[in-house]
Structure 1
Amino acid sequence: MNAQLPRWVDLGLIPLLNLIVAFLVAGGVVMLIGENPVEAVEHILYGAFGFGEGIAFTLFYATNFIFTGLCVAVAFHASLFNIGGEGQAYIGGLGVALVCLAFDTFLPWWIIAPLAICAGAAFGAGWAFVPAYLQAKRGSHIVITTIMFNFLAASLMVYLLVNVLKVDGTMAPESRTFEEAGRLPKIGWFMELFGQNIGGAPLNLSFFLAILACVGVWLLIWRTKLGYEIRTFGANPAAAVYAGINPVRITVITMMISGGLAGMMALNPVMGDQNRLFLELAGGAGFVGIAVALMGRAHPVGVALAALLFGVLYQGGAELSFEMPAITRDMIVVIQGLVVLFAGALEFMFRPVVARVFARTATAKGAA
């Protein structure tokens, strides 16, 4: 079926159909609770794009999802299902925080920021290394081990924030607040170029880093020898081994790149927003990244667009629950779940029909 479909259909039309059906079903759910689905959509769009602060919050959330979506997407290309983005982002946050806590009193932010980026990526990659090694050398399933490492990361963070990094005399399980040099600058100036005021939104320089990460992943996967090896291994491991590609090397390197991307996500909440290390810093973004990668067909452009969609649902959903109290935050989670369901589990629902339509069209053109 895939061979019969033009690329724009496979990457654009089918995901769009899935998304439309998801929102139609969500609209039906809204109608069942006695609310107007058209009005609900208007509130979501206004909350996400209707004013400067809303746009900034949308991009702030999208930044997290770009990193975790790229994390999953890179692993997908090697036929690896990395569900450990949540834990890798957690441990990446530890690396970011340690750099800020160590240097924020005597180094400027423009030196600390690159160090924090490297530390977040290194800690995330290191946390992904063990599941990758177990998969490559011992045959342990990457899905199981990465899920387990999510729980290990959460437990480790609880221990560190309660027993090691917590400020004396406080009850909150969090580190001290970073000094000014340990904080990423906000990019209100960028939004002001478009006549928008971000208000209190925490949109910061990590948004630009996420865009650069999209470009970097595209170059890696489609413009480098390593990327070719990753895609070859993902398409046919046996053929890749026959061609001289080391499966252990590709598995470990791919997973470490994937974990490094997840680790960099922590810059946004830790250094760009809260300016401290805290519990639940990933906020579920590691799991949302799975849906983002599925919707985006593991392509950086698709990942960025899917991340923006989930940013809209997060920010617009907050506005919706405020304007229409009958639609609670739980209902927003239901809408997000429907998007995940149709974009992921039911991703091939429309493909056979669309393929038949295009096959008949091609046959008719050939006959003509």
Structure 2
Amino acid sequence: MTAMPKWADAILVPLISLLIAFIISGLVILAIGEDPVAAMKLMVTGALGSTYGWGYTLYYATNFIFTGLAVSVAFQAGLFNIGGEGQATLGGLGVALACLFIPWPHWSLALIAAVFASALFGAAWAAIPAYLQAKRGSHVVITTIMFNFIASALLVYLLVNVLRPEGALDSASARFGDAMRLPRLNDILALVGIPFNNRNPANISLLIALASCVGVWLLMWRTRLGYQLRAFGKSEKASVYAGINPVRMTMYAMLISGGLSGMMAINTVMGEAGRLLLNSVEGAGFIGIAVALMGRSHPVGVLLAALLFGFLYQGGAELALWTSIPRELIIVIQALVILFTGALDDMVRRPVAGLFLLFQKGKA
């Protein structure tokens, strides 16, 4: 008999962890002389109280869905991919090359090309650490961290020396053509008569992210490859005994993971900026780790966790704008959520499991 049902592990434990993080955040806000209740109301209003706030919340959530799914696929295969930043950076390069050098007549064709290019570049960047682990024994955590810095340096070089338009002062590529502008969320909702604020960057990439959630679920829980990846993640020795090739599983997992990270660039590079910028990833690769941990590496959990972190990003921005709470404290609040829902997750799980065990013994 298990001490704790699956629904409690998937829902109750993260909610308790989140509640503890918010309580401690409230105490920190109180300690600097601010009202934590008013601060929370402002965060909720700023992130969810208007279509403008919802637009930014969904824009950030779109980034975190892609990177959260990427980390989740690697987690399921027993791999810790910390290279989402670098893979998304190279994905942005793929998007820029597809949009700058091919005169697409319509955004739909450009979008298809951008999806393939971003996934290809992200997967290619993840393939090198995957090969190094599978064939040479180099730990994927170390190599993916190193490749984040290499990707950043490579992008700086390309933007400064290759892609920057002649005479431009900022380190950015040329703007994509007007025909490649992706429909915003307000354009999509207007088709069904739903009014939505047009002053936010949420775009059709959100639908691609949602489709990716469905695709990852189908892959991991409805295909032979997904079963092999999960079996490999549970026990490499047992999977090898069952005839599963560990080199192949490592490569497959990291290629899929890198491709998903690269696709994040569709939202930021093509959907929001309309050009390739120096910091288009904005730390979403690292937030994806927390999203995957909180979402239990399941697409539904990743979606919900991504929405939470989208709320924290947009609500935190409103808090920093309209109160005297410093921006650094907003980062502390986000860090506390990551700490309790990720690193200290077992601190909550053990007492909850103990309570369920006592309850079960009492019924017996």
Confirm or deny a common fold (TM above 0.5): yes
Moved more, 260-269 or 195-204: 195-204
Residues 167, 21 of structure 1: CA spacing in aligned structure 2 closer, same or farther, 3 A cutoff?
A: same
Provide the residue aligned with 1:321 in structure 2: 320
Partner of 1:79: 78
Please give the alpha-carbon distance, in whole angstroms, between the structure 2 residues aligned to 1:78 and 1:179.
40
Question: Post-superposition shift, 1:353?
Answer: 1.3
1:126 aligns with 2:124: yes
Q: Distance in 1 between matches of 2:361 and 2:189?
A: 50
Amino acid at match of 1:59: L
Q: Which structure 1 residue ranges, 5 or more long, are not aligned? A: none
Task: Measure, in 1, the Cα distance between the counterparts of 2:280 and 2:55.
Answer: 19
Give 2:50's aligned residue: 51
Structure 1 stretch displaced more, 187-196 or 176-185:
187-196
In the alignment, the residues of structure 1 paired with residue 187 and residue 219 of structure 2 have an alpha-carbon distance, to the nearest angstrom, of 31
Please name the residue that 2:98 is paired with: 99
Percentage of identical aligned residues: 56
Give 1:270's aligned residue: 269
Deviation at 1:265, TM superposition (A): 0.2
Q: For 1:191 and 1:203, how far apart are their aligned partners in 2?
A: 11
Q: Which residue of 2 aligns with 1:185?
A: 183
1:83-118: per-residue Cα shift (whole Å, max 9, x none)? 000000000000011000022x34211111111100
* Secondary structure, counterpart of 1:350 in structure 2: helix
Displacement, 1:195? 4.5
Residue matched to 2:236: 237
SS of the residue 2:163 aligns to: coil
- 1:1-368 to structure 2, matched below 5 A, reads 3-103=2-102, 105-192=103-190, 195-324=194-323, 326-366=324-364
Whichever residue aligns with residue 181 of structure 2, its letter is: R
Q: May I ask how many residue pairs the two structures share in their alignment?
A: 363
Output the CA distance in 2 between the equivalents of 1:45 and 1:128. 37
Q: Does the residue aligned with 2:346 lie in a helix, a strand or coil?
A: coil
Does the CA-based 8 Å contact 1:101-1:182 persist in structure 2? no
**Structure 1 residue 351 displacement after superposition:** 1.5
Q: Distance in 1 between matches of 2:275 and 2:187?
A: 24
TM-score in terms of structure 1 length: 0.97
Gaps (5+ residues) in structure 2?
A: none
Give the stretch that moved more between structures: 175-184 or 124-133.
175-184
Q: Displacement, 1:362? A: 1.1
- Find the residue that maps to 1:70 and give its secondary structure: helix
Corresponding letter in the other structure for 2:277: F
| CA–CA distance in structure 1, aligned partners of residues 95 and 194 of structure 2 | 32
Q: In structure 2, how many angstroms separate the alpha carbons of the residues matched to 1:358 and 1:191?
A: 45
- Deviation sequence 1:307-336 (CA, Å, 0-9, x none): 101100111111111221x21211110000
> Does the Cα contact within 8 Å between 1:31 and 1:37 map onto a contact in 2?
yes
Per-residue CA deviations over 1:29-86 (Å, capped at 9, x if unaligned) read 0000001100000000000011111101100000000000001000000110000000
Instruction: Please state how far the C-alpha of 1:183 moved relative to its aligned partner.
Output: 2.1
Code of the aligned partner of 1:101: L
Maintained 8 Å contact 2:98/2:113: yes
User: Does the 8 Å CA contact 1:191/1:198 hold for their aligned counterparts?
Assistant: no
TM-score (norm: length of structure 2): 0.98
1:360 is displaced (CA, Å) by 1.5
Aligned residue identity for 2:124: G
Alpha-carbon deviation of 1:190? 3.9
Query: What is the CA-CA distance between 1:7 and the residue it aligns to?
Result: 0.7
SS of equivalent to 1:4: coil
For 1:320 and 1:235, how far apart are their aligned partners in 2? 42
